[in-house]
Structure 1
């Protein structure tokens, strides 16, 4: 493989760039997680679980149920969109995790092992890429922001906070959470486009009353 790369300068430079960026990502992740075992960081890790699929699924279903129960169409649609975006983001991130593997920062720091490649595994410590917490948090945050623009900043800050916690607790490298965030934003955009009401023949958008 190395001999083949050496005969293709562009490929060799690309491989070198990727290797360099990966090394930077790993070094940054380890540096940011150096206090992962501190009690304060462990507490942050618990807070970061608000970005787990279980928590966000419960939140989305609750919003949908409450909106339906009180007859608040906007709230119900927000819950529906949060749920759809979260499911879409979960499907994408799970598919990627099953396709590739990457050991988490805490595995490197505690056991001195680091590996990435194919295929994916069902083993948690080898599923660093991408961050599921970041993917679902950003997907749900974008849905909240779309339904309630006044909450956009708070939702974005909350999602970014969840993503950052995953790095300082040694669960993910920076690129993992960036990829997760991109997945979340993209999943929400696609699910919203699918669920968005179609304008009628007169050009009226039925979602606007």
Structure 2
């Protein structure tokens, strides 16, 4: 039996789908909305940063995948390994880099930055999402490493952008009611 066919690996793989794009987007939006309901500015900012970091990581991952063809491990076992520049729309040929890793690590880093007490559990969860891809034969280790690097850069960029906008909002003075100034 292949490792990927082991029931525990299959179950962990199913759980790792939290790192896919729709769940990460939903989690980010939900975090921001909970912040709105609670009137918790920090949580709103975290939700926005989660969404921004995930978007930057996803766009970067997609740009790289658009120019690199790399066989996924399960396909390589059957059809041979291929790694080259170019484009191939076949999912089996889009191993590099890992999008699950990029998205999960980017979102975890945002949460860890603003909620340090949650750093260990969220980073551990993101690491688990990434590492299970190897026995599932979805990705090679280098796919995960590059996905994680993309995530770290994406989180930093998103944090800088959102924090800059947040500072700008803080400097804008509200126009007094009844004022005629523009």
Coarse TM-score class (shorter-chain normalised)? 0.7 to 0.9
How far off is 1:34 after superposition? 4.6
How far off is 1:123 after superposition? 1.5
The count of aligned residue pairs is: 169
Q: Tell me the equivalent position of 2:32.
A: 64
- Return the alpha-carbon distance in structure 2 between the equivalents of residues 34 and 103 of structure 1: 18
Q: Return structure 1 stretches of 4+ with deviation > 3 angstroms.
A: 197-200
Structure 1, residues 89-147: CA drift from partner, whole Å, max 9, x if none?
A: 000000000011101001022x2321010202222110000000000011001100111
Can you give the 5+ residue segments of structure 2 that lack an aligned partner in the other structure? 171-182
**Matches for 1:61-140 after TM superposition, within 5 Å:** 61-109=29-77, 111-140=78-107
- Return the alpha-carbon distance in structure 1 between the equivalents of residues 95 and 112 of structure 2: 27
Q: Tell me the equivalent position of 1:36.
A: 4
TM-score, length-scaled by structure 1? 0.77
CA RMSD of aligned residues (A): 1.9
TM-score, length-scaled by structure 2? 0.88
SS of the residue 2:157 aligns to: helix
Can you give the 5+ residue segments of structure 1 that lack an aligned partner in the other structure? 1-32, 201-205
Structure 1, residues 66-108: CA drift from partner, whole Å, max 9, x if none?
A: 1112211111111000000000000000000001110100102
Instruction: Report the more deviating stretch, 112-121 or 48-57.
Output: 112-121
Q: Tell me the equivalent position of 1:158.
A: 125
